[in-house]
Amino acid sequence: MTSPTPADTLTPGKVTLLSAGPGDLDLLTLKAVKALAAADVLLLDDLANPEIVSLAPQARVIRVGKRGGCRSTPQAFIERLMRRYALKGLHVVRVKGGEALLFGRAGEEIAVLRDAGIAVDIVNGISSGFAAAASLGMSLTHRRHCHGVSFVTAHTEDHGEPDWAALAATRTTLAIYMGMRRIERIASALLAHLPAATPAALVQWAGGVDERRLLTRLDRLAADAMSAGFGSPAVILVGDAVGESARQRDATSHARTTAAIAYAA
């Protein structure tokens, strides 16, 4: 692998904000694969599958991990790297886990790059909220249970919290990101507005080889999560639509038991 060299022209290159999905490389879009193959510089997020670098054979790889509660690469430094290499005429691919436009600080990066006169491409991917629902075999929306889904981060820029009362009142499926460190507070806040038996679920490393799943109810969510040793990164799902996964699981288990009894007889 060779390091990128400055282009012979002063014409700026471009930056691609690439959504790498929840971890399974099979879930990358064809557009993502083409962008990776054309990359000169790869800025790799911690939550992306590290094997993604094999799809960018000519790129210089720079790891710019950002993880809650861990030592992270400062956002301003990442933005300077993108700007620096793009202004040399290079194609910079900023690889983000999940979907770049959802809690990925894409808005800030787009503004910085456009202010510098750098073209920005955006490649969409599968967010971990969708991957979590798929792994549970449930739909995020359901005509009998809810007519929408709310994607929300568990903390605001000033380290405050969302308006849980307002979110509970929407009666949508809540897909809560970056909430494991506050799971007790989240559950307690939602319990003030939702029934204790409201279905809830946790999916850690959704879509990856280390994926773990937990189906429970809101009043047991925090205790069950801690008892089972769940941690970040994980998506918390809350709402009646989540109950469909538990019902389907129970129905499958009942069918298998019935079949076993019939066979034994």
Asked if residue 118 lies in contact with residue 13, where contact means CB atoms within 8 angstroms, the answer is: yes
Is 31 annotated in the active site? no
Nearest to 95 by CA among 37, 21, 148: 21
pTM given for the model: 0.85
The tens digit of pLDDT for each residue in 124-141 reads 999 999 999 999 999 999
The number of C-alpha atoms within 13 Å of 51 and in the hemisphere containing its C-beta is 9
Per-residue pLDDT, averaged over 224-237, amounts to: 96
Active site residue 210: no
Q: Is the N-terminal amide bond of 199 cis, ω within 30° of 0?
A: no
Catalytic pick among 45, 88, 219, 240? 45
Sign of CA dihedral 123, 97, 172, 178: negative
Cα separation, 38 vs 34, in Å, equals 6
Instruction: Please give the full DSSP string across 233-264, using - where no structure is assigned.
Output: SEEEEESGGGHHHHHHHHHHHHHHHHHHHHHH
Evaluated on CA atoms 90, 96, 99, 100, the torsion sign reads negative
Catalytic residue among 66, 88, 96, 240: 66
Residue 34 among the catalytic residues: no
Domains of the chain from N-terminus onward: 14-123 (3.40.1010.10), 128-248 (3.30.950.10)
Q: Among residues 82, 88, 96, 178, which one is catalytic?
A: 178
Interval 161-189: pLDDT, tens: 899 999 999 999 999 999 999 999 999 99
Report which residue type is found at 214.
L
